[in-house]
Structure 1
Amino acid sequence: MKINKKTRAALKLETLVFFLLFFTLISLVAWLSIKYNKRYDITQSGSNTLSQHSQEVLRQMPDKIVITAYVDNSKEIRQVIRDVISRFHQHKNNIELRFVNTELSPDEVRANQITQIGELLIKYHGRSAHAKVPQEQEITNVLRYLARTENRWIVFLQGHGERHINGKANFDWGVFGEKLSQNGYKAQNINLKTNPFIPDNTAALVLASPQTKLTTNEIAIIDKYIADGGNAFLLAEPNEYTGISPLIQPLGIEFYSGTVRDPNSEVLYKIQDNTFAVTPKYPEHAITDKLSSVSIFPKAAAIKTPEVVGDYVITKIIETLPQSWTIPQNVNITSLSQLNKLKVSGPLTLGVALSKKAQQSNIEQRIFIAGDGDFLSNQFIGNGANLSLGFGIISWLTNDDDKVSIPPPIIADKELNLTVFTAAIFELGFKIIAPALLALCGLIIHIYRKVRK
């Protein structure tokens, strides 16, 4: 083609139009990518796709979910959290994710009882729960808990000097009651002397340290409730066991006389009172799976537990350290040998969980017995992991601890196994043949250009 001014102008115009169209196309693609977010998981195992369990949970939650991630300055942790939450966001648009720097907001961290970097606080319908690690299974189980709409009635026995779930005194459980209400539990007080029955919709019956004996009729009503598979939370104080003793004696469970003494409270935690027992370690159990800090029990009684309790599976949930001990109340100790003879050394059990399949259903019956009610009182519930432990017990008693298990994706053929001969062929191809072919192509192009000149 002969080049002149006219053709040169046409070529320039053609180039300009091409670049304008190309720029317009790129801008359109960029706009579409911002307006419409669509992701495709092309991995064989679907490792970047939300599981069906998680998708089903999200379908049960039409309203807004707010997730607060507590992190430090690490960009890597923030990106990991964004990646995980983005998989949930693909199936639900109204999920809000916000980050809080733990170093800049220590008051918020303490107020929300955040215990580790990367912990998530998830809120829905005014309720909240913690996901300790930013993983799909952990987040999904928290969402399942928050999505539940049925009322779980916690019934509190009254009429024997028990702690009041709505009370404001230091002795009472008012703060715990407010937290239960905020998390979907309904509390109801009953007096079996005036209303001699336990409601059929009772999720758990609580005897919060009764200070006087129950009547024969009250004991019979509670015994029948437990025999029929009812769940119960039974608490007592040192040397004040008469309220619940008739209920636990058939199980072979007793309390040691006296108050537990624990020198670790002063040595390790600077508490100037050895009647405060501390429990820094917990067994693997649904009650304690979210506990990572110490629980504190002021003036607790130790529990004497048999190896076998009928058909129940018994688990020691709260245990003191080996240095703790207890001796009988009101005993005049006159010598060291007498002390050693009477002393019961730790570790001492302060709380036990009993479970078995109920006779009239396939639901598991659950009972928790504790030698201290102060740990959930208004005065001490804010100490350590006391509140979390209390929630763990109630959640377990009401069967709110059931969790889905999301297995990790199975990656097929994740290893490439080559024979020695095949590996030698690959090595020969990449190290000798491929470079030789490239060199040959370069030589041919060089000769071709030289001939054209």
Structure 2
Amino acid sequence: MEGMRKLWYRTNFALQVLLMAGILGVIAAFAIAHNLRFDLTKTKRYTLSPQSSKVLKELKDPVKAIAFYQEGGSEWKAAKELLEQYRYYSDKFSYELVDPDKRPAVAKEYEIASYGTIVIECKGRTEKIFNLSEEELTNAIVRATRKGKKKVLFVKGHGEHDLEDFQRSGYSMVKRALEDQNYEVKPLVLLREGEVPRGTAVLVLAGPKKDLLPKEIEAIKRYLEDGGKLLALVDPPTVKNVKAFLKEYGLLLQDDIIIDRVSRVLGGDYLIPVVSLYEPHPITKDFRLASFFPLAQSISLQKEPPKGVELVPLAKTAPQSWGEVDRRRLKEKGEASFEEGKDHKGPLIVAAVATKKVGGKRKARIVLFGDSDFATNAHFGISGNGDLFLNAVSWLAEEEELIAIRPRPTNFTPLFLSRSEARWLFWLCVVVLPGGVAAAGAITAIRRWKR
């Protein structure tokens, strides 16, 4: 009888173990088939941005990332963590981590010269990035999956900023940043060409110092009426025919100089307004960085826009700013004071967007900035200046996916305990809980032994 009882207990125990193993197996199989993740961090550190998730969910062709890092290092682990997030959002995305020291043939095949290089492959097209970040990785995927390069042409011949100029006033950093996003960037002499070339994704007018000829203005108008996209960066004082041309689209340049006392408080120049007020728009979506506009003029929007034109303010200065109309006094004496009824009271629009329907589903787009110096080599890397410029180009080129993604901050939230709380926590975790489990196990073992 005693033997039968022991056999029964053992059989019952074995069945319980098998049942538990079966339940765990079913749970594991379900978890593999239906992979779910929950990010409980305050800043959603382990969740990709909406831009990245949208790009991944819309992938039509397989994309593979090959990341070259030293195995076991902190960068290897960080790369694996980020790439795993990308794979979670799309079954068309895969990745491979390669140690170039252990697999030199693979490194040679992809012409890898340093650790930290990530190669993105899609249907024979490759893109390389050298900085591990969500922004870099997502934009590389967009570039690798994009068919061909889009043209961004800069109008030349009227004193505009030079793309090949590496000095402070040049636009060489703009050119490099656009080329890094796989755009084809070239100057355009409109007087010689006569027309904006077909296939131009974005036309840029970057700080003209002299009037454009009527033939050039007409060429730009024809380009826009055909659904073209224009980025105009116009400094005060405005050249007359450019001002008149933009007025036809409801954009009014004020020919003033923006004075901003907030800049002085922040240790800057009152002639460099700080902009941190952004209106809702794809260009400024989730954009929280301040931008700086040296010697900028304000923009106003026509109360009754021309037919078919939609006007949207994009960025505004602080309420304490104003637009100084008396530029001569400011230039000769260095003096400025707000005069009610004469000067323009803040907040002032420093960037605006005009969209016009031109037939069917086509739309002409214009983004106007009352300053061109914010994108020069001297200021492109300051705060959000470069990102704002690139966002504008991406929206004009109808490639919102390439809009900048800012890294999420890593919040440090320490838990402070008093001495008594620390003592209680020690006894609870080190003594009470383990002791309770050990006591329960001992009691159960003794009861079974007595049976």
Which of the five TM-score ranges fits, normalised by the shorter chain? Answer: 0.5 to 0.7
Distance 1:338 1:94 in 2: 61
- Distance in 1, Cα, partners of 2:199 & 2:285: 27
* SS at 2:187 equivalent: strand
Structure 2 partner of 1:289:
285
Is 1:275 aligned with 2:253?
A: no
The 8 Å contact of residues 252 and 302 in structure 2, kept in 1 or not, is answered as no
**Cα gap change, 1:285 to 1:43, in 2 (>3 Å):** farther
| Structure 2 residue 36 is matched with structure 1 residue 47 | yes
Cα distance in 2 for partners of 1:353, 1:48 equals 39
Verify the 8 A CA contact 1:127 1:184 in the aligned structure 2.
no
The 1:46/1:206 distance shift into structure 2, 3 A limit, reads same
Q: Return the letter of the residue paired with 2:383.
A: G
3-state SS in 1 of match to 2:371? coil
Tell me the CA shift for residue 78 of structure 1: 10
Distance 2:303 2:119 in 1: 42
Partner-residue secondary structure (3-state), 1:221? helix
Equivalence for 2:343: 343
Distance, in Å, in 2 between the alignment partners of 1:308 and 1:65 is: 54
Q: 1:52 to 1:187 in 2, by over 3 A?
A: closer
Cα displacement (A) at 1:155: 1.0
**Contact 1:325–1:346 (8 Å) recurs in 2:** yes
Matches within 5 A, 1:100-139: 124=120, 125-127=127-129
Instruction: Pick closer, same or farther for the CA change 1:390–1:60 going to 2, 3 Å.
Output: farther
Of 310, 313, 331, which residue of structure 2 is paired with 1:313? 310
CA distance in 2, matches of 1:402, 1:195: 32
Provide the residue aligned with 2:442 in structure 1.
none
Structure-2 separation of matches of 1:338 and 1:266: 16
SS at 2:191 equivalent = coil
For residues 367 and 322 of structure 1, the distance between their equivalents in structure 2, rounded to whole angstroms, comes to 26
1:343 shift after superposition: 2.0
Aligned to 1:162: 160
- Name the SS of the counterpart of 1:341 in structure 2: coil
Give distance in 1, aligned partners of 2:30 and 2:240.
63
CA deviation profile, 1:252-301 (whole Å, cap 9, x unmatched): 32211321000111213x11x10001112322322123533211110001
* Higher Rg of the two aligned structures: 1
* Corresponding residue SS for 1:217: helix
Residue identity opposite 1:61 in structure 2: V
Secondary structure class of the residue paired with 2:167: coil
Question: Within 1, Cα distance between the matches of 2:356 and 2:388?
Answer: 21
Distance 1:65 1:242, change over 3 A: farther
Aligned 8 A contact 2:87 2:94 in 1? no
| Matched residue SS, 1:340 | coil
Q: RMSD of aligned C-alpha atoms?
A: 4.3
Cα distance in 1 for residues equivalent to 2:130 and 2:285: 17
**CA distance in 2: counterparts of 1:130 and 1:373, whole angstroms:** 31
Q: Which moved more, 1:278-287 or 1:366-375?
A: 278-287
Confirm whether residue 232 of structure 1 aligns to residue 230 of structure 2.
Answer: yes
How far is the alpha carbon of 1:393 from its aligned partner?
A: 0.6
Q: Please give the alpha-carbon distance, in whole angstroms, between the structure 2 residues aligned to 1:369 and 1:199.
A: 21
2:155 & 2:395 partners in 1: Cα distance? 19
2:264 is the alignment partner of 1:262: no
Describe the SS at the equivalent of 1:292: coil
- Structure 2 equivalent of residue 329 of structure 1: 326
Secondary structure of 1:47's aligned partner: coil
Question: Residues 130 and 160 (structure 1 numbering): CA distance in 2 closer, same or farther, change over 3 Å?
Answer: farther
Work out the CA distance in 2 between the residues paired with 1:251 and 1:338. Answer: 29
With over 3 angstroms needed to count, the CA separation of the structure-2 counterparts of 1:288 and 1:371, relative to structure 1, is same
For residues 156 and 384 of structure 1, the distance between their equivalents in structure 2, rounded to whole angstroms, comes to: 24
Is the CA contact (8 Å cut-off) linking 1:262 and 1:323 kept in structure 2? yes
1:244 aligned to 2:242? yes
Check conservation: 1:122, 1:131, Cα contact below 8 A. Answer: no
For residue 241 of structure 1, what is the amino acid of its counterpart?
A: V
Aligned amino acid, residue 292 of structure 2: I
Counterparts of 1:123 and 1:82 in 2: how far apart (Å)? 12
1:355 counterpart SS class? strand
Give the direction of change, closer, same or farther, for the CA distance of 1:82–1:216 in structure 2 (3 Å limit): closer
Q: CA deviation at 1:240?
A: 2.7
Deviation at 1:86, TM superposition (A): 5.5
Report the 3-state secondary structure (helix = DSSP H, G, I; strand = E; otherwise coil) of the residue aligned with 1:225.
helix
1:377 matched to 2:352? The reply is: no
Unaligned runs of 5+ in 1: 1-38, 98-120, 404-441
Aligned partner (choices 304, 318, 322) of residue 300 of structure 2: 304
Instruction: Quote the residue 1:84 is aligned against.
Output: 85
Q: Distance in 2 between matches of 1:306 and 1:337?
A: 27
Q: Structure 2 unaligned segments of length 5 or more: list them.
A: 1-27, 39-47, 100-116, 121-126, 403-444
Matches of 1:243 and 1:129, distance apart in 2: 44
Offset of 1:123 from its aligned partner?
6.7
Q: What does residue 178 of structure 1 align with?
A: 176
Deviation at residue 445 of structure 1 after TM alignment: 9.0
Would the alpha carbon gap of residues 162 and 139 (structure 1) be closer, same or farther in structure 2, given more than 3 Å must change?
Answer: closer
Q: 1:129 to 1:252 in 2, by over 3 A?
A: farther
SS of 1:232's equivalent in the other structure is strand
What is the alpha-carbon distance in structure 2 between the residues aligned to residue 52 and residue 193 of structure 1?
42
> Among residues 43, 57, 60, which one is paired with 2:59 in the alignment?
57
Question: For the residues of structure 1 that align with 2:62 and 2:87, how far apart are their CA atoms?
Answer: 18
Q: Closer, same or farther in 2 for the Cα pair 1:42/1:240, shift >3 Å?
A: same
How far off its partner does 1:64 sit? 2.6
Counterpart residue identity of residue 395, structure 1 = S
Counterpart residue identity of residue 401, structure 1? E
| Shift in Å, 1:246 | 3.0
Aligned residues: 340
